[in-house]
Amino acid sequence: MIPMWTLDFETFPIGPRPEHYPPKPKGLAWKHPDGSTGYATDWEGMESVLYAAHEAQRHGCPVAFHNGKFDMHVAAKHFCVRFQDSPKLVHDTMLMAFLMDPYGRSGLKPLAAKWLGWIEEEKDLVVEWILANADRLPRFEFVTNSKKEPYGNPTKKNAGAWIAYAPDELVGPYAIGDVERTWALAQTWLPILERTGMMEAYEVERAVLPIFMANEEAGLRLDHDRLEQDIEVYEMAFKVAEDWLRWRLNAPGLNFDSDGDVASILAERGIVTEFKKTKGGANSVSKKNLYPDMFTDQQVASVLGYRNRLKTCLTMFMKPWHAQSAARGDNRFSTDWNQVQGEMGGTKTGRPSSHNPNVLNISKKFEGGPDGYVHPEFLQLPRLPLVRKYVLAEEGHVILKRDYAGQELHVFGHFEHGDLARQYQANPRLDVHNYVGENINRITGATHWTNPEQRTPLKAMNFQGMYGGGIPALSNELRIPMAKARELKAFHDQALPGRRVLSDTLAAIVRSGQAIRTYGGRLYSRPPFIKRDGGQLSPADYRLINYLIQGSSADITKRAMIALTGHVDFNAFWMLQVYDEMNISAPVEDAVRQMTVMQEAMESIPLRTSLPTDGEFGFTWGDMQDLKEMSQLENLS
């Protein structure tokens, strides 16, 4: 058995920064390396345990957690104990769980039940007490879970939010049970990770954890005053858009947040006569299923598109950023990073995601895209906000960004071992979309596939191929009949034959009972079967190419994060990772060196096809300029 301290905080409800996150601790469960356990509830007792574990860590004894980022944030904020500063001596069973099963989202207790056969009786006693005493428990004015749903009254599902109010004699066994589970899972999984060749992947996850934590602790600098003014302007614009739509549709009481109500009015007024359907069979009004050319009234299409996009900007980004910045009083806000899929969210591929509030999936432009959105000029509304502009460089700094050039397709070439790989080796800056267009011209005898207007379908075919998308997905994205999508798919399979070969090879591997391995050494077994509309189960092996390509891209980018922040000359604040994009805030006078460091770090990850990057710079995240020459950075100072 591997000697280790194991720790788990029980806390008051988790709420928004700064007051309620990291939340105040109620108790600390611990398991000593000698096997003894306990639950400390007084401040001195918790402090004593933390100091003992930290001292042991300083002398080489690892400390284990489940979802360590949360517990380490609590320890750092309330006790000034920083286990994250020695990441090689931190174990996290949530990270291990992702490696063991990247498809799962199970919490600690279900994991222990599955892997150890342990039951969870102590939880039932705590939940029973909370439900029995619900009338005497407080209610929270803030959202307390990652799905942004207020808990309201205690239920069996959400009872954990009130655990700080339950008696210690019930919570103590519950908390000690969790550290026992964490310890046992770590002891079980570490040898398996070693045996399956995933220890290197685990070390990468452990190494990036403190990078994400440091970003969460510091937060991002925000143009608070400009954002505050713009929120007022855009709230007025939002009201104008809704009022106009209710007038135009002759529907004064229309609730735009009810998809069913909106679909009904559009159909009744003859504005939209044919809808795509949701999985439940209802008329869909989502952006991906409702295009402007489906409307008989283009003004309604334009204003409704404006209203829906503006709501996303206001509710997902602008208002949450502003609220946290105002509460902190320092013109900053923080996001919560999910570096892997787990209880709080994340992705099956290992691509980081963010929440509370979100900083990803932000539109860089609204008009001229494949969704057909056109700004409603006739209402004289302000252009939709490009919200990246509210994120600022640090004082005296400039934001430096580098973006992998076609990361997924280069990674595909790395695994393909075919003609595309050879083309990339000869020319790392190969225009792969043009390359595929030339091949389709050759196959079909046509000449138009290299024309600019074909770039959209070519990109769709290429990326759908990397994402495991089939004929229906291509038909939906390009909005073409299934027969046409089938024809294009056949052309693409001939133009890029390695994609089909790789996809079929991956499926054959998992069907034989083996697992595929990403660039970083992570394993994916056969994906769970998916339920079709008729209720029948179907294989999801077509998704494997996405898990391999996106998963490997995640591996590469995380390694680049480690190389960047660990570079001897790194002298900047790591800001953001957005898929294949890295952003740092660097001193203006050191911008040239820091951009060079970032390029060296990101391009140091070896691939058979190489992996070039492109640079940008700016003083806000939304006003970035292409970097063509380093002299552009020299002139900043």
What whole-number distance in Å separates Cα of residue 217 and Cα of residue 333? 9
Domains 5-195 and 408-549 agree in fold = no
Q: What is the CA radius of gyration of the chain?
A: 26
pLDDT of residue 59: 97
Report residue 344's pLDDT band, with 50, 70 and 90 as the boundaries: confident
Report residue 418's pLDDT band, with 50, 70 and 90 as the boundaries: confident
pLDDT of residue 158: 84
Architecture per CATH, domain 399-407+552-634, reads as 2-Layer Sandwich (3.30)
Give me 93's structure tokens.
């069973």
131-176 pLDDT, tens digit each: 999 899 988 876 544 444 555 788 888 888 899 999 999 999 999 9
Domain ranges of the chain: 5-195, 222-389, 399-407+552-634, 408-549
* Lookup result for tokens 């207007």: 453
Exposure string of 164-192, with b = 16+ CB inside 10 Å and e = fewer, is bbbeeebbbbbbbbbbbbbbbbbbebbee
271-305 pLDDT, tens digit each: 999 998 888 889 999 888 899 999 999 999 999 99
How does DSSP classify residue 242?
Answer: H
Architecture per CATH, domain 408-549, reads as Orthogonal Bundle (1.10)
Q: What is the DSSP string of 202-235?
A: HHHHHHHHHHHHHHHHH-EEE-HHHHHHHHHHHH
576-606 pLDDT, tens digit each: 999 899 999 999 999 999 999 999 999 999 9
Helix axes 544-565, 497-511, angle to 10 degrees: 100
pLDDT of residue 560: 97
The region, left, alpha or beta by phi > 0 then psi within -120 to 50, assigned to residue 607 is beta
What whole-number distance in Å separates Cα of residue 31 and Cα of residue 186? 13
pLDDT of residue 142: 65
pLDDT of residue 124: 80
pLDDT of residue 143: 54
Contacts of 176 (CB under 8 A, 6+ apart): 29, 31, 37, 38, 39
Mean pLDDT of the chain: 93
20-51 pLDDT, tens digit each: 899 999 999 999 999 999 999 999 999 999 99
In the CATH hierarchy, which top-level class contains the domain 5-195? alpha beta
The pLDDT of 186-204, averaged and rounded, is: 98
The answer to whether residue 534 scores a pLDDT higher than 80 is: no
* Lookup result for tokens 């700094």: 397
301-342 pLDDT, tens digit each: 999 999 999 999 999 999 999 999 999 999 999 999 999 998
63-94 pLDDT, tens digit each: 999 999 999 999 999 999 999 999 999 999 99
Beta partners for residue 401, in sequence order: 583, 616
- Which is higher by pLDDT, 457 or 92? 92
pLDDT of residue 145: 47
Helix axes 482-495, 455-467, angle to 10 degrees: 80
The pLDDT of 467-471, averaged and rounded, is: 89
DSSP strand pairing (63-65 vs 37-40): unpaired
The answer to whether 502 and 412 have CB atoms below 8 angstroms apart is yes
The region, left, alpha or beta by phi > 0 then psi within -120 to 50, assigned to residue 60 is left
The pLDDT of 175-180, averaged and rounded, is: 96
What whole-number distance in Å separates Cα of residue 103 and Cα of residue 105? 7
The answer to whether 432 and 511 have CB atoms below 8 angstroms apart is no
**Proportion of the chain above pLDDT 90, given as a percent:** 81
What are all long-range contacts of 297-301, with beta carbons under 8 Å and residues at least 24 apart? 297/248, 297/271, 298/374, 299/248, 299/376, 299/378, 300/245, 300/248, 300/249, 300/266, 300/271, 301/374
pLDDT of residue 150: 53
215-269 pLDDT, tens digit each: 999 999 999 999 999 999 999 999 999 999 999 999 999 999 999 999 999 999 9
How does DSSP classify residue 153?
Answer: S
